[in-house]
Structures are given as C-alpha cells and as structure tokens.
Structure 1
Amino acid sequence: MMKSAILLPIVAILGATVLSSLFIVDEREKVLVLQFGQVKQVKEDPGLGFKIPLIQEVVRYDARILGLPTTPLEVTMLDDRRLVVDAFARWRITNLIQFREAVGAGGEAQALVGLERILNNAIPEVLGSVDSNRVLSEDRTALMNQIRDIARREAANLGIDVIDVRLTRTDLPEQNLEATFARMRAEREREAVDEIARGNEAAQRVRAAADRTVVELTSDARREADVIRGQADAERNAIYAEAFGQDPEFFAFTRSLTSYERALQSGNSSIVMQPDSEFFDYLRSDSGRGDTPGRAAPATE
C-alpha cells in the first residue's frame, strides 16, 4: 500500500511530463521550438514533435498563403495627375528562423506591418514613373509585376515570399473627381451646343433649299399655266373666228347673250338707255334681230 501510494504520484508526474513534452504540428502550421528565446528546432512537416518540458516552448506560424490588403495611398503620376491606389498582396512564410529574427514575438501581425510598408514604397516608385492613362487602362499587368518583384526582393529579408500583388483600386481623389466630372459636364454641354448649332445650320440650309425649290416649281407652274392659257385663248379665238365666218348671225347672237349676262348681273351699276335701243333687239324678238326691220345690230361687247 505504501509503495502504491508513492508510485501513483510518481507515475502521474512522469505522465504529465511526457505529455507536456509532446506537441502536434498541423498540416496548416509551421513550428519553432525555442529555448530561452533561441531556436532549437524547426518543425515544418505535420506530425508529432518533442520538446523539453518547462524549458522549451512551441511557437506556431501559419503555413498557408496569406493576404494583405493595403490602405489607400495617393500617388502622383508622371503626368502630374494624382490617383488613390490600393493593392492586395498574397504572401507566405518561407524561412522560419529568418522570419522569427525579423519580426520577433510579433509574428504574422508584425510581418503585415513590415510588408505593407514595403508595398507603400514600391507602389509610388513604379506608378510614379508612368502616365496615369497606363495605370487606368486594363493593360497594367507589367506594372503590378514590377511592384511584386520589388516587394519580393525587399521582403526576402523578413523570411517571406511575396507571391502576387494586384492593384484593386485606382481612382481619382474626391476633389479631383468632382473637378473631372464638372469638366466632363462642361465638355458635353459644349458639344451639345455645337451639335445644336450645326443642326440649326443644316435645318436652315434645308429650309432655304426647300424655299428655292418652291419658288422654282411655282415659277415653272405659272409659266406653263400662262403658256397653256395663251394656247387656249388662241384656240378659243380661232374657234370664234371660224364660227363667225360660218354664221355671222349666230356669232352676233352669242356675243349679245354674253353682253346681257355681264350687264344684267346683280350688283352692277345702273344702265340708263332708251327702250328701243339696239341693245335689247334679241330680247324683243322670238326669232332674233331680223324681225325688227331698220334696226342696227346690237352691241356685241
């Protein structure tokens, strides 16, 4: 019983000591074993590891590819235009010992601070040497690759590898953006005024051409009407002359009827003449002028 009472605590202590000396490395992790701040063991493969209890400690780091979104940075381009730029970097730890020496106990958080500082220096260095049109265009892969190469070279001292850098935003500053919009509006308004002026000028030309065409068509129509009217008058006079030559009495009768029609219309001036005037010869006789001997022919106009 005495032995059992003594052995049980010893076994428990040994068991706790053994358990505290074991650690498990996940496949998503890399591990450093430190002894009084000095690196004693590097464990990058997943599995079971051992350390000295109470003397050594295990520090775990993320073995996956990590991301870093940078804060917006205002950059002046080669053409003196200013752009607000931010980027997104992907990186991972490649050298645990160098990484530990560079960032100390800060770990990944301290590495993010250092990497962002590197990117904030590399972005103006690359973008400040080109025009803004190149940065704003879709063909800016070469610029992002240059930023990545600079960041990779500088971050190698931190024991990390910069895999990729992408520009996520390239916008004008707010005050420049408003000025640009105002300039764009003014330009569009000027273009609209120019288009309206050109439209009015074209409309005036069309109206002038239409008015000229109307005058020409009207003149041609009147000329043709006058020609046709003259031809009709000539044909009418020829018919009258032919009819007069064939039957002078009938011609005199029709001319008298025409004179009656014109003289006896309503609204005409009053006519004062003698009842036996020659003007009424065809009205006093059923058979015409021949029934009243000694009378002259009535007026024919």
Structure 2
Amino acid sequence: MTGKQITAIVVAVIAIYLALDSVFTVDVRERVVVVELGEIVGQNYEPGLHFKVPIIQEVRRFDRRILTLTEDIERVLTSENKNLTVDFFVKWRVMDTVDFYLSNQGSEARARSLLTEIVENDLLAEFSKRTIRRAIDDDRNEIVAAVQVQANQDAKELGIEIVDVRIMRLDLPDPVTESVYERMRSERQEVIRTLRAQGDAAANEIRADAEREQTIILANAYREAQQIRGEGDARAAAIYADAYGEDTSFYSFYRGLELYRDTLGDNDILILEPEGELFEHFNPPAGR
C-alpha cells in the first residue's frame, strides 16, 4: 500500500469521524445542551436529529423525566426539643437545562446532594415550629406543602422543579423508642396486675357466696330430714302402739323374735338366767 493510499484512508477515517461527531440525536426523554469551551452555545433542542461543530462542541444530556430522591433525617427537633426520625422522598425534574448545567456542571449526583440539603433544611425549619403531637397527627400535610413551596423557590436556581414532597415515616429515635416501649410494657403490666387482683377478689366473693349458699342448703336439708325422720318415727310409734293394742301377746312374741335375731349370732355365747324375760318364749308358763 502506497503512502498516498494510507493518507487517503486516514483522511477518510477523519472525515467519517468528523461527520459522525457533527450530528447528534435528542430523545424525547432527554434535555440537551451543547457546550463549547465550557460555555453553553445551544439548548432547548426538540427531539430528533441536530448538528454541531465536531470536536469543539460537546453534547451534555440530562433526564427529562420525573426523578425520585429518597432520604432520611436521623434527628429532627420539634418546638419542645423532642427528637424525631423522618424518612421522606422528593419527586423532581430538570426544568432549566442552562441553570442546571451551570449550578452543578450537569452532574445528577451533585444535583441530588444539593436538593437533599435544601429539603432537609426546610423540613427542619417546619418541624421546629410544631410540637411532636401536631407534627405526627395534625400538621403533616401542612408541613409537606410548606416544604414543597419553599424548596421550589430554593431549587429554582438549580434549574430544578420539585413536583412533590412526601413524608414516608415519622418515628422516635431508637433509644427513645425503646424507653417508650418499656414504659408502655410497664403500664400494661400494671393494668394486668390490677385486673388480676380484681378478678381474684371477685372469685373469692363468688366462692364465699357459694360456700354460704351451700351451708344454708345443707342446713335446710338437714332440718327437713330431721323433721321427716321425726314424723316417720312418730308414725312408726303410733303404728307399733296400734299393733300392740290389737294383740299384746303376739306383739310381745314378735318383738322377742326380733330381739333373738338381732342379738344371737351363729357363734355367739350368752350366759343368762333361764328365768329371765329373754327366755320367756322358750319356757312359757303353763296354759300359754
């Protein structure tokens, strides 16, 4: 290959490179500025194909879409000097490519850092105006609305528009949270002890009432049993008396047999005088 051919190839390569470097495309999701020697010479390009001076001019691209920034603040002081931990997110986008480029050289990471600082300062200012109860219960929407307005004003110099600010979580710091939980546990234990004592007292009262009722029922039952037994004994005595009146000799004989049955067993030995009343039915007098 001759020198002329090599030169021609090099020239062709350079020409192709310059031709390719002189055109650029803009996507609908992008914002683009053209920079020449550190100065912006072109901006607000519509989506499509565009031209620039090769080598000298440089294309810087920024995301046109809404971006999300998520951060947390470990210590936020309320008006009563109580600490809170705040997690928040910010929806933002690039609105002015010139200001965005000049403020942070087009670095999205630098822009996120500056935006985080702005929002955190505004949140700290808003929380410092409120008590912890108002911040948690009532004024959260007011806080984020005020922060969005103020942060938009502060971020305007960065070429950024803040679309939305939201607080994801409000919490006490870990040591404070643990002490709060411990106090809640102690309060619950005290309530449990009180309820248990009340339950024991009620159980003892019910048990005493039951025992008293049992004693009364048993006493009434015993009284009724004794009354019925007395009535039965009286009626039995009356029946015995009537039977004795009907035939005294037979009644005496029958009672004697009962006495023999109840007194004398199979292996019992009694030593008695034969003239006693017990043997009157064994040795009846003549004529009976």
The answer for the alignment partner of 2:218 in structure 1 is 218
Q: Distance in 2 between matches of 1:242 and 1:46?
A: 134
- 11-20 or 26-35: bigger deviation: 11-20
- TM-score of the superposition, structure 2-length normalised? 0.83
The answer for the alignment partner of 1:247 in structure 2 is 247
- 8-17 or 185-194: bigger deviation: 8-17
Q: Distance in 2 between matches of 1:235 and 1:5?
A: 151
Partner secondary structure for residue 50 of structure 2: strand
The answer for the alignment partner of 1:36 in structure 2 is 37
Q: Contact 2:87 / 2:168 at 8 angstroms: preserved in 1?
A: yes
Partner secondary structure for residue 211 of structure 1: helix
> How large is the Cα RMSD of the aligned pairs?
3.5
| Contiguous gaps of at least 5 residues in structure 1 | 285-290, 296-301
Report the alpha carbon displacement of residue 12 of structure 1 after superposing the two structures with TM: 6.6
Counterpart of 2:65, as a letter, is R
The change in CA–CA distance for 1:216 and 1:44 in structure 2 (over 3 A counts) is farther
The answer for the alignment partner of 1:170 in structure 2 is 170
Report the alpha carbon displacement of residue 204 of structure 1 after superposing the two structures with TM: 0.9
Report the alpha carbon displacement of residue 195 of structure 1 after superposing the two structures with TM: 2.5
The answer for the alignment partner of 1:204 in structure 2 is 204
Runs of 4+ residues deviating >6 angstroms: 3-12
Partner secondary structure for residue 283 of structure 1: coil
The change in CA–CA distance for 1:294 and 1:126 in structure 2 (over 3 A counts) is farther
1:115-150 Cα offsets, whole Å, 9 max, x none, are 001111122233344454565569944543333333
Report the alpha carbon displacement of residue 228 of structure 1 after superposing the two structures with TM: 0.6
Counterpart of 1:42, as a letter, is Q
The change in CA–CA distance for 1:272 and 1:50 in structure 2 (over 3 A counts) is same
The answer for the alignment partner of 1:298 in structure 2 is none
Q: Where do residues 3-18 of structure 1 align in structure 2 (5 Å cutoff)?
A: 16-18=17-19
Q: Distance in 2 between matches of 1:7 and 1:182?
A: 84
Q: Where do residues 136-155 of structure 1 align in structure 2 (5 Å cutoff)?
A: 140-155=140-155
1:39-59 Cα offsets, whole Å, 9 max, x none, are 221134211222233443322
- TM-score of the superposition, structure 1-length normalised? 0.79
Counterpart of 2:170, as a letter, is T
Partner secondary structure for residue 53 of structure 2: coil
Q: Does residue 70 of structure 2 align to residue 69 of structure 1?
A: yes
Q: Contact 2:74 / 2:173 at 8 angstroms: preserved in 1?
A: no
The answer for the alignment partner of 2:86 in structure 1 is 85
Q: Contact 2:91 / 2:165 at 8 angstroms: preserved in 1?
A: yes
Q: Distance in 1 between matches of 2:221 and 2:141?
A: 74
Q: Contact 2:80 / 2:132 at 8 angstroms: preserved in 1?
A: yes
Report the alpha carbon displacement of residue 99 of structure 1 after superposing the two structures with TM: 1.9
The change in CA–CA distance for 1:134 and 1:265 in structure 2 (over 3 A counts) is farther
Partner secondary structure for residue 275 of structure 1: coil
Partner secondary structure for residue 86 of structure 1: strand
The change in CA–CA distance for 1:237 and 1:79 in structure 2 (over 3 A counts) is farther
Q: Distance in 2 between matches of 1:142 and 1:253?
A: 115
1:238-261 Cα offsets, whole Å, 9 max, x none, are 111211221122232234345445
Counterpart of 2:123, as a letter, is I
1:49-70 Cα offsets, whole Å, 9 max, x none, are 2223344332221212112122
Number of equivalenced pairs:
285
Q: Distance in 1 between matches of 2:189 and 2:5?
A: 100
Counterpart of 2:114, as a letter, is G
The answer for the alignment partner of 1:288 in structure 2 is none
Give % identity.
35
The answer for the alignment partner of 1:276 in structure 2 is 275
Q: Contact 1:122 / 1:147 at 8 angstroms: preserved in 2?
A: yes
1:3-36 Cα offsets, whole Å, 9 max, x none, are 9999988777665544433222222221112233
The change in CA–CA distance for 1:81 and 1:265 in structure 2 (over 3 A counts) is farther
Partner secondary structure for residue 282 of structure 2: helix
- 51-60 or 238-247: bigger deviation: 51-60
Counterpart of 1:256, as a letter, is G
Q: Does residue 285 of structure 2 align to residue 292 of structure 1?
A: yes
| Contiguous gaps of at least 5 residues in structure 2 | none
The answer for the alignment partner of 1:299 in structure 2 is none
The change in CA–CA distance for 1:136 and 1:253 in structure 2 (over 3 A counts) is farther
Partner secondary structure for residue 84 of structure 2: strand
The change in CA–CA distance for 1:275 and 1:116 in structure 2 (over 3 A counts) is same
